[in-house]
């Protein structure tokens, strides 16, 4: 029996999102934080995204580096997020991080949860 360890994930980080993360970390004066993306039960459609800075690396976490920005995903969230992309939009209509996930079969009207 072989143990197949996952050492990376299939989440992408756009250049715009990486630049915004670097800018936020510089503002905070921190270089020990990683960007964590997770999927948790909740929301109108059953699952919600969590995107936040984290200084911890937990058992089973998988990481991927994007030009100095480390994106961390826990092993339980990896299957839900494979192929997803994190972007940052800064326009007159919208400002903030967005997650485009090809695994989401549907989402609620507010866009905060998916199934």
Q: What is the pLDDT of residues 17-57, one digit of tens each?
A: 999 999 999 999 998 999 999 998 876 657 888 999 999 99
The strand pairing partners of 66, in sequence order, are 69
* pLDDT tens track for 50-92: 999 999 999 999 999 998 999 999 999 999 999 999 999 988 8
3-state SS class at 18: helix
pTM above 0.85, yes or no: no
* Distances in whole angstroms, Cα of residue 101 to Cα of each of 7, 11, 14, 56, 91: 20, 9, 13, 25, 21
């Amino acid at each position: 029996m072989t143990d197949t360890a996952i050492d990376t994930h299939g989440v992408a980080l756009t250049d715009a999102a990486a630049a915004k993360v670097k800018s936020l970390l510089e503002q905070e004066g921190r270089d020990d934080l990683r960007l964590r993306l997770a999927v948790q039960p909740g929301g109108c459609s059953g699952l919600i995204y969590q995107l936040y800075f984290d200084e911890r690396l937990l058992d089973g976490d998988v990481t991927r580096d994007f030009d100095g920005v480390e994106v961390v995903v826990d092993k339980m969230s990896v299957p839900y997020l494979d192929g997803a992309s994190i972007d940052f939009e800064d326009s007159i209509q919208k400002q903030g991080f967005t997650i485009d996930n090809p695994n989401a079969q549907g989402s609620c009207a507010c866009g905060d949860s998916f199934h």
